[in-house]
Amino acid sequence: QLVESGGGLVKPGGSVRLSCEASGFLFKNASMNWVRQAPGKGLEWVSSIGPISTYIYYADSVRGRFTISRDNAKNSLFLQLDRLSAEDTAVYFCARVSRTSAALDLWGQGTLVTVSS
Amino acid sequence: ILMTQSPATLSVSPGDRATLSCRASQSINTNLAWYQHKPGQAPRLLIHGASTRATGIPDRFSGSGSGTDFTLTISSLQSEDFAVYYCQHYINWPPYSFGQGTKLEIK
Q: Which pLDDT does position B50 carry in this prediction?
A: 98
The pLDDT value given to residue B95: 85
* Average of per-residue pLDDT values in chain B: 96
Task: Say whether residue B94 is in contact with chain A using an 8 A CB cutoff.
Answer: yes
Q: Within an 8 Å CB–CB cutoff, is residue B57 touching chain A?
A: no
Residue B37 has pLDDT above 90, yes or no: yes
* Residue B93, pLDDT score: 81
- Per DSSP, the residues of B68-93 read TEEEEEE-S--GGG-SEEEEEE-TTP
The mean pLDDT value of chain A amounts to: 97
Average pLDDT over residues B26-37: 97
Check CB contact under 8 Å for B45 and A42.
no
Query: Cβ of B39 under 8 Å from any chain A Cβ?
Result: no
Residue of B5, B28, B36, B45 to mutate when probing chain A, most A C-beta within 10 A: B45
pLDDT of A7 reads 96
What mean pLDDT comes out for the span B95-103? 94
| % residues pLDDT > 70 (chain B) | 100
Residue of chain B minimizing CA distance to A61: B95
Using the Cβ of A111 and the Cβ atoms of chain B, whether some distance falls under 8 Å is answered with no
Mutation site, A33, A34, A57, A101, interface B, largest B CB count within 10 A = A101
Q: How far from B53 is each of A43, A111, A112, B102, CA to CA, in Å?
A: 21, 28, 30, 19
Please report which confidence band the pLDDT of residue B87 belongs to, taking 50, 70 and 90 as the band edges. Answer: very high
pLDDT digits (tens, 9 = 90+) for A48-63: 999 999 999 999 999 9
A76/A21 Cα distance (integer angstroms): 5
Q: Which H helix or E strand runs over B16?
A: none
Cross-chain Cβ contact A110/B31 below 8 Å: no
Whether the predicted pLDDT of A37 surpasses 90: yes
Q: What is the pLDDT of residue B92?
A: 84
CA B34-B37-B41 angle, 5° bins: 140
* pLDDT exceeds 90 at position A72: yes
**pLDDT value at residue B55:** 94
B94 pLDDT higher than 90 = no
Q: Nearest 5°: phi and psi at A41?
A: -115, 180
Q: Return all residues near B36 (Cβ < 8 A) that are at least 6 apart.
A: B43, B44, B46, B81, B83, B84, B85
Q: Which amino acid is at B55?
A: T
Percentage of chain A beyond pLDDT 90 is 97
Assess contact for A11 and A74: CB atoms under 8 A: no
Which chain B residues have a beta carbon less than 8 Å from that of A109? 40-42
Measured distance CA(A17)–CA(A81) in Å, rounded:
6
